Chain A
Amino acid sequence: MTTLVIAEHDNAQLKGATLNAVAAAAKIGGDVHVLVAGANARAVADQAAAAAGVAKVLLADAAQLADGLAENVAAQVLAVASNYSHILFPATASGKNVAPRVAAKLDVAQISDIIGVESADTFQRPIYAGNAIATVQSADAVKVITVRTTGFDAVAAQGGSAAVEEIAAVADSGLSTFVSREVAKSDRPELAGARVVVSGGRGLGSAENFKILDPLADKLGAALGASRAAVDAGYAPNDWQVGQTGKIVAPQLYVAVGISGAIQHLAGMKDSKVIVAINKDPEAPIFGVADYGLVGDLFQVVPELTGAL
């Protein structure tokens, strides 16, 4: 029994989500291998080789793998799939994009977004926006799985000494072409991996007002998040969205400012260790999950809180 973890990376840096997926692989048992499919991604392979618990790193390096096109990456995974009992992807935008393609080609069911491993064939996953936890068993020969990163503590990035083996890259499918990428620039920690998250909702009222959260986030070393309402209203960029259909976070501290707490938002943050809610409506559902709630006008409370920290 050997597990293959597909590395999440940008050709230069191994993304933290990979280390959470390796942790899930370790719980399944057996050897853990990591596949790095990219272009000029040797540095990523070296970082993966240094991660605790990794036995071997496979590196497929070719121009057609540079941009993570689903058709090419899935073909690359399929090229080595026959050696593995489990194939794990972090449940990130790229993992979710590629994993089902691999599963369908192998004619197996995919198990999405697992948060727990009960045995090598039995896993826990949330359904209905996290309002229920299903325990599912797979009888398929190969288990194709995406791992909810907040469900597993990352393995150490250092301490491993796996060998890196170069493997042949698959040919370009020719079906799709990468055109461009717009990356939102930010000096703050990455939302999904941040220790503290400060999130704003419709209560902020405008993109201009959203800036009121900046000093608080700076003080706390926090990533900024947003509810869907805030994103749809244009107060914050799309990739800040926390919730069922956005990012799932589980930081040490989650500060919800001007967020009512719809089911879809709670699905993305209710596993946070400590939740603080600041809202002027004492009946807002967010107070149902908050450890500490403060009823008040956020435009007074937030600067006051920033000053007091």
Chain B
Amino acid sequence: MKVLVPVKRVVDYNVKVRVKSDQTGVDIANVKMSMNPFDEIAVEEATRLKEKGAVAEVVAVSCGVAQCQETLRTAMAIGADRGVLVQTDAELQPLAVAKLLRALVDKEQPQLVILGKQAIDDDANQTGQMLAALLDWPQATFASKVELADGKVTVTREVDGGLETLTLKLPAIVTTDLRLNEPRYVTLPNIMKAKKKQLDTVTPEELGVDAAPRLKTLKVSEPPARKAGIKVADVAALVDKLKNEAKVV
């Protein structure tokens, strides 16, 4: 069985981004980029399924600029067998990515696609669900546990108020939550090996997908700043402030 794992190159989660002064976007020139943390969890899960013998091949996919190759190499250093880059310099929104992935699913015929639940740049949380809809496959989002058996996948999901467990018929879509696993550190030998793995490049045009953005971003602005707070000396002063100044207790 083959697993497809889409990965996204995003601004590193430790970077606090700044809005550009002309409000056209955030400034990501010369900012450290990394694999989206939820996607690392997705690659790790696919690799563990392979190590258990439940999966024969793991294919990592990324959509975007040429530098996404680095993200794919990282996925291959974790354990993906090969990579596919859908290369374009155009802005890609979740619906477009879902359509590109559908085209690759048609080509690669995986039984399972594991995605991150959201990318930490656009915070959309859409792509996995959209891909499931386009393929008419079942979905299990926000997974904290995944088990493959007998042509089915059983997934425990993190929902408001607790956990729920679903069983999906394969082929299926799973999106990862934080507690699904702890991604392994990539080792130097594995980084070297990843350089030799196969990495194919296609374009949206070759896949026959119209990837034009549907939403127009009119502007990007700073969130309203909080006014500077104060430090109080002790508990009595804090209680006094809460009672008499903020009037919240």
A positions within 8 Å CB-CB of B: 67, 69-71, 74, 92-94, 96-105, 107-113, 122, 126-140, 173-184, 192, 196, 220, 228, 231-232, 237-239, 244-245, 247, 252-253, 263-264, 270, 273-276, 282, 287, 289-296, 301, 304-305, 308-309
Contact = CB atoms under 8 A, between A and B. Distances in A.
A108 B214 contact: yes
A184 B161 contact: yes
A137 B120 contact: no
Contact of B218 (A122, A232, A270): A122
Given A103-B130, A133-B223, A276-B238, 11 more contacts: A70-B129, A70-B138, A93-B158, A99-B126, A103-B95, A104-B98, A122-B218, A182-B162, A184-B161, A275-B229, A292-B230
Contacts of A282: 231
Interface string B226-249: 100111101110110110001011
11 contacts: A99-B129, A131-B16, A138-B214, A139-B216, A178-B165, A179-B167, A239-B161, A245-B38, A292-B241, A293-B229, A308-B235
Interface in B149-172: 154, 157-169, 172
B164 A182 contact: yes
A307 to B, nearest CB: 8
Contact of A239 (B117, B158, B231, B246): B158
Interface stretch (B73-81, B104-112, B140-148): B140-148
A112 B137 CA distance: 22
Nearest to B166: A176
| A interface secondary structure, majority | mixed
A190 to B, nearest CB: 8
Nearest to B167: A177
B215 A136 contact: yes
Interface residues of B, number: 81
B242 A253 contact: yes
B93 interface: yes
Contacts of B186: none
Interface of B: 11, 13-14, 16-17, 19, 26, 38, 93-95, 98, 117-118, 120-134, 136-142, 144, 154, 157-169, 172, 177-179, 213-223, 226, 229-232, 234-236, 238-239, 241-242, 246, 248-249
A308 B234 CA distance: 11
Contacts of A136: 215-218
Contacts of A304: 235
B16, B160, B219, B220 — most chain A CB neighbours (10 Å): B160
| B interface secondary structure, majority | mixed
Contacts, number: 254
B138 A176 contact: yes
A238 B144 contact: yes
B216 A137 contact: yes
A244 B172 CA distance: 26
User: Which 5 A-B pairs give the minimum distances between C-beta atoms?
Assistant: A100-B129, A175-B138, A109-B214, A104-B130, A104-B133
A139 B95 CA distance: 14
B235 A175 contact: no
Contacts of A184: 161-162
Contacts of A132: 17, 19, 26, 220-223
Given A100-B126, A275-B229, A294 B235 contact: yes
A93 B159 contact: yes
B164 A239 contact: no
Contacts of B157: 93
A100 B229 contact: no
